[in-house]
Amino acid sequence: MTTTDTPSSPTLLTRDQRRVAAQLVYGASNQLIAVHVHLAVFTVASHLAAARRKLDRPGSSRAVLAHALLTAREVQPPATTGPTPEFTARDRQVIRAVAEHSHNAAIGDAIGVRTDDVRAEIDALAAKAGAHNAVHLVGLGHAWGILGESAAASTLSQPALAASTAGEA
């Protein structure tokens, strides 16, 4: 091995699981992921379940799974366009809570709002960030260096996603 060779880092996921996960961090639904990676919706769900098991996140939300995938460097953060939005300390707190907690009650406790108001907080922040949903917001949080140690703003081109990427958060 020469000094210019970079050893590949070990990965927990299979190639197909990484393909599915790469679409997840853009906030795509299982149905949309299935279309883009040419798999059955059931297979996409199976790959995401396997990723949860391998990353020790059983029962986690899609946003928590995306955070785990990005933190473990199993996938690249989503590509961004333009500068990082001007986030307040509160905005950053909400992004972290969404990335770390699977249930609205826990997110609400972490950010100091009622469970019934959590969805509105997340939706408002996703709109401010230009994210499709909470999962995409977490992915962008990694791309902007707000979460984890992921590389800042990915230079990879964004996978083609249909206009409707709103899926489960």
Residue 149 has a pLDDT of 58
CA distance 65 to 158: 20
What is the C-alpha to C-alpha distance for residues 6 and 24, in angstroms, rounded to an integer? 27
Q: Which helix (H) or strand (E) holds 28?
A: none
Place of tokens 């996978």: 159
- The alpha carbons of the chain give a radius of gyration, in whole angstroms, of 16
> Which carries the bigger pLDDT value, residue 165 or residue 119?
119
Confidence (pLDDT) at 28: 97
Tokens at 127, concatenated: 């709109």
> Which residues are bridge partners to 79 per DSSP?
154
Computed over every residue of the chain, the mean pLDDT equals 85
Q: Token pair 């707000």 is at which residue?
A: 146
Q: Express each pLDDT in 43-73 by its tens digit.
A: 999 999 999 999 999 999 999 999 999 999 9
Q: How many residues does the chain have?
A: 169
pLDDT, tens digit (0-9, with 9 covering 90-100), for 106-116: 999 999 999 99
Question: In whole angstroms, what is the distance from residue 34 CA to residue 71 CA?
Answer: 24
- CA-to-CA distance for 24 and 11, rounded, in angstroms? 17
C-alpha angle 49-52-53 in degrees, rounded to nearest 5: 90
